[in-house]
Amino acid sequence: MTVIRDVVCPFCGCLCDDLEVTVEGNKIVKTRNTCAISSAKYMHHEENRITAPSVDGREVPLDEAVEAAAEILASARRPLVYGLSSTECGAIAKAVELAELVGGVVDNTASVCHGPTILALQAVGESKCTLGEVKNRADLVIFWGCNPTEAHLRHLIRYSGMPKGLYTPEGRKGRYIVAVDVRETRMKRLADQFLKIEPNGDFELLSALRAAVREVKVQAETVAGVPREQIEALAERMKRVKMGVIFFGLGLTQSDGRHMNIDAAVGLVADLNHHTKFVLTPMRGHYNVAGANTVTAWQTGYPYAVDFSRGYPRYNPGEYTAVDLLARGEADAALIVASDPAAHFPADAARHLARIPVVTLDQKVNMTTMLSKVVIPVATAGVEAEGTAYRMDGVPIRLRKVVEPSDGVLPDAEVLQMIIDRVRALKEGA
């Protein structure tokens, strides 16, 4: 029996790296410091696994599946490569290389998550920090349109609520926590102040806060359901703290206004920097969506929605984003890596995956694998394979391997390299 320490969790953007996993033989028998979701991932990682590659539902040897995948992608006119946020950076780099080789589009799950945050950054920027700065300095923490109690379970314990840091020796007592949401979640109990906001009212409320920070009188009695006095009081507090941070999530990126909501938040934080130290940080969902953006950006210049059909990278969210490509019926083949768009895209887009040949690399059976022509099982990064992942704040940590994958199940970076080699051979032969 071995206890492996400092294990890095491959689930959410918290990328906790203090896990302990106990392994007996090649089986995970116990975990420590895991949250409920992480524990489920480790303890159940062997269940519902795809056991062998398949083509049209028939089990085939890996080489045959790779060949079928290569033929689909090499002959496609508008192939889409998508997913990538739940695997390690080596695989992501291979996916980008493959998309370039076949002149297709490469997109990642940021397009349905914090893509709007990136759009806002490209327009107005962003003032941020790594999570340790929050732990060590923040005396005001605002959670806007996110619910860490359901999606980032150890965020408050490790980074933003409880920890006693260098200049925050009182821990939770030294922090004022505000939660802003359209409904009362468990955050209401955890926070010192809860602001209930009307759905789709974020842009207005952020703008009103910004006005108050600039000492421009807010005329309305309430903005987005929040009384003016509360807005003015919060603005005052924000100016007076030593260091404030806004953590924000899909409540901002997915509501009306999309990137304009984050634009407003960025502007508010920039204005606050004239009074005190203030930052904002997106709560990235998947453990390596930041890595998908990071790798894609350093290799192509652009963070997601990258088209290679002209032989060089082009960027246009709304045109090259996966939901749009599928909803318009534009993609004629797809390679899905570490994602389940058939389940997670609106049906109007997901439906197209039933029309076109799809190659999927994943661990477990899901709706996308059920619709795929070629399915190749791959090792679980962070459990059965090493690699780099980038935390929500951009910190890169190396994932550990704690058990061996099943016989014949390779890391996706290796499988992607095999497909690349076959595609290259097919294109040269043609």
Partner 1 sequence: MKQIEVVLISGRTAEQGASLEVGKTSERYFNSVAVVELSAADADALGLGEGDPVEVSTPHGSVVVRSRRSEGLDPGLAFFPYGPWANQVFGAHTGGTGMPPFKGVKATLRPAKGEPPTLRELVEALRRESR
Partner 2 sequence: MRSLIVKGGYVYDPLNGVDGERMDILISGGKVVEELDEREAKVVDASGMVVMPGGVDLHSHIAGSKINIGRVLRPEDHRKDPVPRTRLTRSGVGYSCPSTFVAGYRYAQLGYTSVMEAAMPPLGARHVHEELNDTPILDRTAFTLFGNNYFTLKYVKAGDMGMLKAFIAWLLRATRGYAVKIVNPGGVENWKWGRNVGGLDDLVYNFEVSPRQIITSLARANEELGLPHTIHLHCNNLGVPGNYETTIDTMEAVRDIKPREGRRATVHIVHCQFNALDGDNWMNVRSGAAKIARYVNAHSHVTLDIGQAIFTDTTTMTGDGPWQFRLHNLTGNKWVNSDVEMEAGAGVVPYTFRKNNPANAIQWAIGLELALLIYDPWRVYMTTDHPNGGPFTFYPKVISWLMSRKARTETMLEIHKACMRRTTLAGIYREYDFGEIATVTRAATAKALGLKDKGHLGPGADGDVSVYDIDPTDWRPSMYRQVEKAFSRAAYTIKGGEIVVKDGEVVAAPPGTTIWADVKIPEDAEEELMRDLEADFRSYYTISLANYPVQDEYLPVQERVAVDGRRGW
Among positions 239-258, residues that touch partner 1 (CB under 8 A) are: 250-251, 253-256, 258
Closest contact distance (angstroms) between CB of 132 and partner 1 is 25
DSSP state letters, 259-283: HHHHHHHHHHHHHHTTTSEEEEEE-
Closest contact distance (angstroms) between CB of 423 and partner 2 is 14
Contact call for residues 129 and 344 (beta carbons, < 8 A): no
Three-state DSSP at 245 gives strand
* 204 touches partner 1 (CB under 8 A): no
CA–CA separation, 335 and 333 (whole Å): 7
Identify residues 308-327 at the interface with partner 1 (CB under 8 A). 317-319, 321-324, 326-327
Closest contact distance (angstroms) between CB of 269 and partner 2 is 9
Beta strand 243-248 with 226-227 is unpaired
Identify residues 206-245 at the interface with partner 1 (CB under 8 A). none
* 122 touches partner 2 (CB under 8 A): yes
Closest contact distance (angstroms) between CB of 83 and partner 2 is 20
Q: Tokens standing for 423?
A: 């595609």
CA–CA separation, 274 and 284 (whole Å): 27
CA–CA separation, 43 and 11 (whole Å): 13
Q: Which stretch binds partner 1 (CB under 8 A): 108-116, 136-144, 292-300, 412-420?
A: 108-116
Contact partner at residue 131 from partner 1, partner 2, none, CB < 5 to 8 Å by partner kind: partner 2
Identify residues 136-195 at the interface with partner 1 (CB under 8 A). 147, 149-151, 153, 182-185, 188
Contact partner at residue 52 from partner 1, partner 2, none, CB < 5 to 8 Å by partner kind: none
Q: Which stretch binds partner 1 (CB under 8 A): 75-83, 122-130, 336-344, 402-410?
A: 336-344
Shorter beta-carbon distance to partner 2: residue 53 or 267? 267
* 115 touches partner 1 (CB under 8 A): yes
* 11 touches partner 1 (CB under 8 A): yes
Q: Tokens standing for 379?
A: 């090792």
Burial of 229 (0-12, 13-18, 19+ CB in 10 A): exposed
Phi-psi domain of 406 (left: phi exceeds 0; alpha: psi -120 through 50; beta: other): beta
CA–CA separation, 110 and 118 (whole Å): 9
Per-residue buried b or exposed e for 278-308, using 16+ beta carbons within 10 Å of the residue's own CB:
bbbbbbbbbbbbbbbbbbbeebbebbbbbbb
Tell which one of 23, 40, 157, 426 touches partner 1 (CB under 8 A).
40
Q: Which stretch binds partner 2 (CB under 8 A): 36-44, 156-164, 332-340, 355-363?
A: 156-164
Contact call for residues 277 and 221 (beta carbons, < 8 A): no
* 113 touches partner 2 (CB under 8 A): no
Closest contact distance (angstroms) between CB of 42 and partner 2 is 17
Identify residues 369-388 at the interface with partner 2 (CB under 8 A). 386, 388
